[in-house]
Amino acid sequence: MRCFFDDRQLAHAPGREFHNGGWAVHAETPGRARSIAGALGRWEAPRDHGAEPIAAVHDARYLAFLRTAWDDWVREGREGEAIGYAFPVRHRRALDLTRIEARLGAFSMDASTPITAGSWDAAYWGAQCAVSAVDALAEGARSSFALCRPPGHHAGADYLGGYCFLNNAAIAARRATAKGLGPVAVLDVDYHHGNGTQDIFLGDGSVFFASIHADPRTDYPFYWGHGDERGEGAGAGATLNLPLSRGTDWSAYRPALAQALTAIAEWGAKTLVVSFGADTYAHDPIAGFALETGDFAEMGRMIGAAGLPAAIVMEGGYAVEALGANVAAFLSGFEGDEGAT
């Protein structure tokens, strides 16, 4: 399995986030990537594919904002990390907004995703890892792993949130289609629903999106991921949401994964992008499932047994001390069933 990571992804290092009415220590730290990198120990640097694969997914105005947001924040004399506080709930018109606070709100879905001095570089190189992972498949690899940090699946075409700035899984899926590897399916197994990925492909019948996640009636992102969301227009029927209750262990998770894999096979996918989050771990500090390290190996075996070329893209997982072992278990299980490295 070819694995991609770039040290520049460590540059994004926010200290705090706004959560449940107060400041909390930010959960998405550089230590997450260090834990995974240390556990696996085999890495390739991604190629710089430029802005084109990113622009195939994200709105040009949003990308322009991300590139300059931190410099604009500093230029306007603001202190601390850049976080929006006013959000356009009903209208997302393309207004000519001057103040950085206004633009932060216009392009954000929450107040938990600060922009810092290194945020753009980190997100950019995370996206390049995802693109490189897909290109590895196009070059004949059966599987690849992109250590994307910060994660991506909460980012929409024109908004950030949930610790995410660029949607690495969506970028990977579009790249796979462009490389002639379609039809493409995205399987999201993070604890939280991949609302950004769903938004991007909701009306796109060329990409199937399946997500197994915590019930949004009780867990973030709340407003997406309900079972009746099945796609719209040309994408009708190409979205599958399988929400599960808090406390779900492997015995309850396994049937949902089998259902998702069956749906992907029946849809006719030829390539798989896996949004892998290890925050389904029983001891994750911001989640509520009950999977153990050995369960990640079994999850990997089941997905690998589908026999599809797969680009695995890292999403969440915040129990830092166990994160590397959990990711290694998943990848080891996946490789064991595909029979190739």
H helix or E strand, kind and range, residue 35: helix 30-40
- pLDDT at residue 91, rounded to an integer: 66
Q: Catalytic annotation on 283?
A: no
- pLDDT at residue 89, rounded to an integer: 78
- pLDDT at residue 95, rounded to an integer: 78
Nearest of 321, 331, 244 to residue 285 by alpha carbon: 321
Nearest of 297, 330, 335, 11 to residue 143 by alpha carbon: 335
Q: Which residues of 10-20 are buried (b: 16+ CB within 10 A; e: fewer)?
A: bbbbbeebebe
Would residue 57 count as lying in a domain?
Answer: no
Burial (CB < 10 A; 0-12, 13-18, 19+), residue 160, is buried
pLDDT tens by residue, the chain, 341 residues: 999 999 999 999 999 998 888 999 999 999 999 999 999 998 999 999 999 999 999 999 999 999 999 999 999 999 999 999 999 877 667 778 889 999 999 999 999 999 999 999 999 999 999 999 999 999 999 999 999 999 999 999 999 999 999 999 999 999 999 999 999 999 999 999 999 999 999 999 999 999 999 999 999 999 999 999 999 999 999 999 999 999 999 999 999 999 999 999 999 999 999 999 999 999 999 999 999 999 999 999 999 999 999 999 999 999 999 999 999 999 999 998 544 33
List the CATH number of the domain containing 21.
3.40.800.20
Structure tokens at 89: 């709930």
Q: From the candidates 12, 26, 154, 193, which is the catalytic residue?
A: 154
- pLDDT at residue 51, rounded to an integer: 98
pTM of the model: 0.96
Would residue 242 count as lying in a domain?
Answer: yes
Would residue 84 count as lying in a domain?
Answer: no
Domain count of the chain? Answer: 1
Would residue 42 count as lying in a domain?
Answer: yes
**Measured between alpha carbons, how far is 296 from 326 in angstroms, rounded to an integer?**
6
DSSP category for residue 45: P
Would residue 56 count as lying in a domain?
Answer: no
Question: SS3 of 194, please?
Answer: coil
Would residue 113 count as lying in a domain?
Answer: no
**Measured between alpha carbons, how far is 288 from 339 in angstroms, rounded to an integer?**
33
Question: SS3 of 240, please?
Answer: strand
Question: SS3 of 186, please?
Answer: strand
Would residue 52 count as lying in a domain?
Answer: no
Domain range enclosing 242: 2-47+118-338
Nearest of 341, 280, 283, 272 to residue 313 by alpha carbon: 272
Structure tokens at 116: 């810092």
Nearest of 213, 203, 279 to residue 241 by alpha carbon: 213
Would residue 107 count as lying in a domain?
Answer: no
